[in-house]
Amino acid sequence: MIIAAGQFAVTPCWETNARRCVNLMAKAAERGAALLVLPEALLARQDDDPDLSVKSAQPLDGGFLTLLREESRNNTMTTILTLHVPSAPGRAINTLVALRGGEIIARYAKLHLYDAFSIQESRRVDAGKVVPPPIEVAGMRVGLMTCYDLRFPELAIAHALQGAEILVLPAAWVRGPLKEHHWTTLLAARALDTTCYIVAAGECGNKNIGQSRIISPSGITLAGADDTPQLIVADADGMALQQFRAQLPVLVNRKFAPPQLL
Q: What residues are labeled active site? A: 40, 110, 147
**210 vs 68: CA distance, rounded Å:** 21
Q: Is the dihedral of CA 188, 259, 83, 101 positive or negative?
A: positive
